[in-house]
Amino acid sequence: MRPLNTDSSENLRIENPTTLTEQVYGTLRDEIVSGVLRPGDRLVRRTPGKRLGVSPMPVVEALLRLEADGLVESHPQRGSRVRPLTFEEVHNDQILREAIECQAARMCTKNASKAELSALMTKARLVDRVLPQLKEWISPTPRCASTSATATTRTARPFSAFSKRA
């Protein structure tokens, strides 16, 4: 094979190696995840195409990928829209998030020093104080901020027990 560029003073550079479909997909996904495009918003093929300066084909391919990801739903003769969230999905995600955050806190406190545990407890108390003020903005949040700082919500081990290394 011969090189693309024989002049050593010029370097061949590919500025943006992604395809148009990947760029449209990334832009639409970011807009959905960030809330710019809200659940239920219609996604007419021409609109993102015009806005992003691409033909309809990359938009169609991006919408198919977003549908496979569960972010968009398409219906024959009606087009595509950002998939609405159900209460059950949000609730299940919150339960999962709470479990992961509580377990992460338990794992962190296992090897933490007294100073680290104290700092964690201070931050957890701050979170517990601030969360009630945010209830109008956010739905129920993990109830384990302070309790996870002591490494568990289900055992009665004293806080000092968690600073001892096994």
- Grade residue 3 by pLDDT with cuts at 50, 70 and 90: very low
Long-range contacts of 36-40 (CB under 8 A, 24+ apart): 37/82, 38/82, 39/82, 39/83, 39/84, 39/85, 40/81, 40/82, 40/84
| pLDDT at residue 152, as a whole number | 38
Strands 42-43 and 72-75, by their bridges, are unpaired
Under 8 Å between Cβ of 4 and 32 = no
| pLDDT at residue 134, as a whole number | 65
Sorted by where each starts, the structural domains of the chain and their CATH numbers stand as 20-82 (1.10.10.10), 87-163 (no CATH)
pLDDT tens figures, 41-79: 999 888 888 888 999 899 999 999 999 999 999 988 888
Which 8-state DSSP code applies to residue 36?
S
Under 8 Å between Cβ of 42 and 81 = yes
Could you give the percent of the chain with pLDDT greater than 90? 27
End-to-end CA distance of the chain: 62
User: Rounded to two decimals, what is the model's pTM?
Assistant: 0.53
98-117: average pLDDT: 86
Q: Which two tokens stand for residue 7?
A: 């002049």
